[in-house]
Amino acid sequence: MSEFFDNYFNVKKIIESKREYRQQMARVEALPKDYRFVFKKIQGYMWNFAGGDGYDMMKIHYDLIELFEAGAAEGKHVLEITGEDVAAFCDELLRSARTYTEDWHEALNRDILKKFGKGNDSK
């Protein structure tokens, strides 16, 4: 329970996170128009799957900004970075994030195993 309060009610952490987020979004606004468009589309897509406190998702977005900045600096078109299947690119990025689908998978398995006396708390 302490972790919950540390993550969700830590005012200092919230303020710092908002400040960092604004700085990162300023970096996005400095990207070429096509990169900005794709980043914002990816961001919207990925937030649909965010689970937990979302901090792991922010790390992915910040890494994506760095990747896009490097691609833009090299003069690459944004689709040279993501490929034409941008959704598959996003899904690959999401592999390292905690998502709601994982929570749903865990809850489904936990509830069924608990019903049949096979859960960890049934011992």
- State how far the Cα of 31 lies from the Cα of 68, in Å rounded to an integer: 8
Mean pLDDT taken over the chain: 82
Q: How confident is the model at residue 19 (pLDDT cuts 50, 70, 90)?
A: confident
Closest CA to 40 of 50, 49, 54, 29: 29
**pTM (whole model) above 0.75:** no
Residues in the chain: 123
User: Can you give the pLDDT at residue 123?
Assistant: 44
pLDDT at 122 over 50: no
Structural domains of the chain ordered from first start: 2-122 (1.10.1900.10)
Q: Which residue has the higher pLDDT, 14 or 38?
A: 38
How confident is the model at residue 106, as a pLDDT?
Answer: 80
